[in-house]
Amino acid sequence: MSTIAPHDALKSDVAAWFVQLRDRICGEFEAIEDMAGPNPGRFERTSWDRPDGGGGVMSVIKGQVFEKAGVNISVVQGNFTPDFAARIPGTEAGAAFWAAGISLVAHPRSPKLPAVHMNTRMMVTAKGWFGGGGDLTPLQPGTAAAVEDTAGFHAAYKAACDRHDPAYYEKFKKWCDEYFYLPHRQEPRGAGGIFYDYLDSGDAVADFAFTRDVGEAFCAAYMPIARRRFAETFTPEEREAQLIRRGRYVEFNLLYDRGTTFGLKTGGKVDAILMSMPPEVKWP
C-alpha cells in the first residue's frame, strides 16, 4: 500500500491557508485606508498562470496610507533547472518541486510609518519544508518612534515563536539579521524581525502550525503601528529621506533576495515577483 508523505498530505490545507491569510490581511489594510478619509484605496486582484504548472493571484493596493502594497499568493510546480537546483541543499537538476506561499510588501506614503515585508511558504521536493518570516524597515531609523515600533514588532514575533519553541526567536532573529543585510553597504536593510528556511523538525503538522502563527503574528506586529502612525504629519525633507531609504530596499531585493531569484528562475510572473519594488525611489 502506498503512503502519502507528510508534506504532500498538507498541500491542500497549506494552499487554502494562504488564501485565508491573504484575505484577512487585505481586509485589515483596507480598514486602515478607511480611517484615512474619503477615497480609500482598494486592492485590485490579478490572476496569472505559469506555463509549466500552477499560478497565483496578485493583490495590489495604491491608496492614501499605503502608497503601494502587495499581497501575493501562488501555488506552482515543475522541475528545477540546473543552476537553481544548485542553490537548494540536497536537490538535483531536473527534480520535481511543488511550492506554495504568500508574500507581502507594503510601502507606506508617510515616512513616519515603516515599510514592512512578510512571507511564509512550503516547498516539497524529495522532502518538504517550511520557511518565512517578517521584517520591519523604519524609514526614520534611530528615532524614538522607530525604537517603539521595532520593539512592538519584535515582541509579536517573539510571542509567536515562544508558543512553539523557546529557542526559535533568538535563532530566527539572528538569521533575519544576517539575511537582510547589504554587504556592499555594510548595513542592515532595516530593523529586522525573524526569518527561517528549510524548517523540517520531523513533525510537518507542527511546522505548519508554527508557520500559521508566523502569518498571524504579522497582523499583531504591524497593524497597531500602521494605525498609530498613518496620520502623522511629515516634512518634504522627511519624504526625501524616505525615498532614499527605499533605495536600500530595491538594492537588496534585486541583488540578494532568494524569493526574487526563485520566482524569476522558475518562470513566475515578473510583475508579481517585482511587486516588492516601491512606486517611487531615489538615490543620492
pLDDT digits (tens, 9 = 90+) for 229-271: 999 999 999 999 999 999 999 999 999 988 788 777 777 778 8
- For residue 271, what is its C-alpha cell? 510583475
DSSP single-letter state for residue 270: H
Pairing of strands 181-182, 66-79: unpaired
In the chain, alpha helices (H): 6-35, 82-85, 144-162, 168-179, 204-229, 236-255, 258-265, 270-273
According to the CATH classification, is domain 6-272 in 3.40.50.620? Answer: no
Decide if pLDDT at 276 tops 50.
yes
The domains of the chain are located at 6-272
The pLDDT value given to residue 265: 74
Decide if pLDDT at 184 tops 70.
yes
Q: What percent of the chain has pLDDT above 70?
A: 95
Question: Which residue, among 151, 172, 138, has the nearest Cα to 248 in the 3D structure?
Answer: 138
Q: What is the pLDDT of residues 131-144, one digit of tens each?
A: 999 999 998 888 99
User: Sorting pLDDT into bands at 50, 70 and 90, what band is 4?
Assistant: low
For residue 154, indicate whether it is catalytic: no
Q: What is the pLDDT of residues 104-128, one digit of tens each?
A: 999 999 999 999 999 999 999 888 9
Decide if pLDDT at 1 tops 50.
no
User: What value does the mean pLDDT of the chain take?
Assistant: 92
Question: Which residue, among 241, 235, 230, 266, has the nearest Cα to 98 in the 3D structure?
Answer: 266
What's the CA gap between 36 and 227, in Å, rounded?
10
Which of 107, 117, 154, 184 is an active site residue?
117
Decide if pLDDT at 129 tops 50.
yes
Is the CB of residue 117 less than 8 Å from the CB of residue 105? yes
What's the CA gap between 196 and 200, in Å, rounded?
11
Question: Which residue, among 120, 122, 129, has the nearest Cα to 157 in the 3D structure?
Answer: 120
DSSP single-letter state for residue 274: G
The residue with cell 517578517 is 134
The pLDDT value given to residue 85: 65
216: left (phi over 0), alpha (psi -120 to 50) or beta: alpha
Is the CB of residue 91 less than 8 Å from the CB of residue 64? no
- For residue 204, what is its C-alpha cell? 510537518
Tell me phi and psi for residue 18, to 5 degrees: -65, -35
What CA dihedral angle connects 248, 253, 257 and 259, to 10 degrees?
150
